Amino acid sequence: MKIAHIAPPWISIPPSNYGGTEIVLYNLIEEQVAQGHKVTLLAPGDARTSAQLVSFFPRSLIEAEVPWSAHLKAYFHFYKAVEYVKEHKFDILHTHLSSAADMYLFPLTAHLTTPHVMTLHSRFPFDRVGSWTGDADQDYMEWATAVPMVAISEAARDEAPFDLNFIGVVHHGLPIQTFRPPQEQPENFFVWLGRIVPDKGPHLAIQAAKKAGVPLVLAGIIDRYVPDAMEYFEHTIKPEIDGQQITYIGPVDMEQKIQLLSRARAFLNPIRWEEPFGMVMIEAMALGCPVITFPSGAAPEIVVHRKSGFFAHNVDEMVHFIRKIDTLNRATVREHAEQHFSVRVMAEKYTALYRKVMLKQHRPQPAASTPLITPPPLRISDPAQRLVYPPSQAATTGAEAESVS
């Protein structure tokens, strides 16, 4: 199968540290290539991939220090990518909606003849900047509701505020062979990992670790282009870091992440939002690291309570389960991830959805019947005005009737 992926242009593929959509896209493409598909990735030139790479500028936008609110370069990327797809023959186009600029794909692909699916990676609304929220999402539904959409969890599909054309749910997957814990026994610390923003709950993880009297290692990025994130770190997180019980080690790449999660007794995930998926949860479990999480968003689809982790509803319950973490078997935790969240399973599910969309688009449609137009009776008092109903008018009226219907 000839597959084209249009990547968001902001973060490199694979990401150097944080990038949920980008690591999913990298894993999916590598597996699709391994399964024998001919894959083209349309992404900035710093992408590393086994697929054919087509680029329109050399560096991902965040690496080039372009702020999130500057969309001109992103639009250029999407426009050129869609034009490339139009000029080449592909069996399927797969696009990815994870940030505001990705919404441009809807009007740009509206008249595309190549079969097309889009994965919804994040949450609506996309028309937002900081604390401001606009109403442009609704305007884009003019095109969006016609696009076959894939949700990354049942929770994400159910939460979508518009009547989108969902054709299935595909959970994210990992290359399980890469996620092999280098050691069997963990060390005496817990870990929190992610973007340092309030919704991810690092301050709650700190509270839980302090109440339980256990060391906590924080790892992740601070988005310097988001003033609220910078303020949150400086005023809420940084004062708690003492380098002893609470440690912050900064962003981590994939190798560092594997080492960190393998060594940790558990991953604390006190999320405060309806997270559509949560890659770090399956990464932790694949390494045998149990997850203690709030049951928000997709977490109940990912973690099995008392098998691969625990569900806590508040900080006190998280403290309770921190003290019970050694009752979980790390081999069982890893087995759960192998069975449900492998990249092979993810790729096969996408292939099935691709075929479904291709079959539907290529299925012959019944020809529309032309309605018969009966001329209205002429009520003419003057015999000189008794004319034949003009055929041209009947034809025009018929066309107009079809467009109205």
Structure confidence at residue 97 (pLDDT): 98
Per-residue pLDDT at 214 exceeds 70? yes
Per-residue pLDDT at 368 exceeds 50? no
Element (H, E) at 299: helix 299-302
Select the more confidently predicted residue: 35 or 129: 35
Confidence of residue 387 (pLDDT cuts 50, 70, 90): very low
d(CA 337, CA 209): 25
Tell me which CATH homologous superfamily contains domain 2-173+345-362.
Glycogen Phosphorylase B; (3.40.50.2000)
Per-residue pLDDT at 348 exceeds 70? yes
- The average confidence (pLDDT) of the chain is 90
DSSP-assigned letter for residue 335:
H
Task: Reduce the secondary structure of 50-111 to three states and give it as a string.
Answer: CCEEECCCCCCCCCCCCCCCCCHHHHHHHHHHHHHHHHCCCCEEEEEECCHHHHHHHHHCCC
163-198 confidence digits (pLDDT tens): 999 999 999 999 999 998 887 789 999 999 999 999
Q: Tokens for 301? A: 């689809």
40-72 confidence digits (pLDDT tens): 999 999 999 999 999 999 999 999 999 988 999
Class of domain 190-341: alpha beta
d(CA 89, CA 52): 14
H-state helical runs in 162-290: 202-212, 227-232, 254-263, 279-286
Give ∠ CA 267-270-272 in degrees, rounded to 5.
Answer: 145
d(CA 29, CA 22): 11
d(CA 275, CA 254): 21
Structure confidence at residue 378 (pLDDT): 38
- Give ranges for CATH 3.40.50.2000 in the chain: 2-173+345-362, 190-341
* Mean pLDDT value of segment 313-323: 98
Verify cis geometry, omega within 30 degrees of 0, for the bond prior to 14.
yes
Q: Tokens for 363? A: 């299925």
Confidence of residue 376 (pLDDT cuts 50, 70, 90): very low
Confidence of residue 218 (pLDDT cuts 50, 70, 90): very high
By the 8 A CB rule, do 342 and 174 touch? yes
Per-residue pLDDT at 394 exceeds 60? no
Confidence of residue 366 (pLDDT cuts 50, 70, 90): low
Prediction pTM value: 0.84
Phi, psi of 56 (to 5 degrees): -120, -5
* Mean pLDDT value of segment 308-327: 98
* Mean pLDDT value of segment 278-291: 96
* Mean pLDDT value of segment 241-262: 95
Q: What is the chain's length?
A: 405
Q: Tokens for 324? A: 């019970």
* Mean pLDDT value of segment 149-163: 95
| pLDDT > 90: percent of the chain | 82
Confidence of residue 363 (pLDDT cuts 50, 70, 90): low
Per-residue pLDDT at 260 exceeds 50? yes
Residue from 19, 173, 43, 44 nearest 98 by CA: 19
Confidence of residue 361 (pLDDT cuts 50, 70, 90): confident
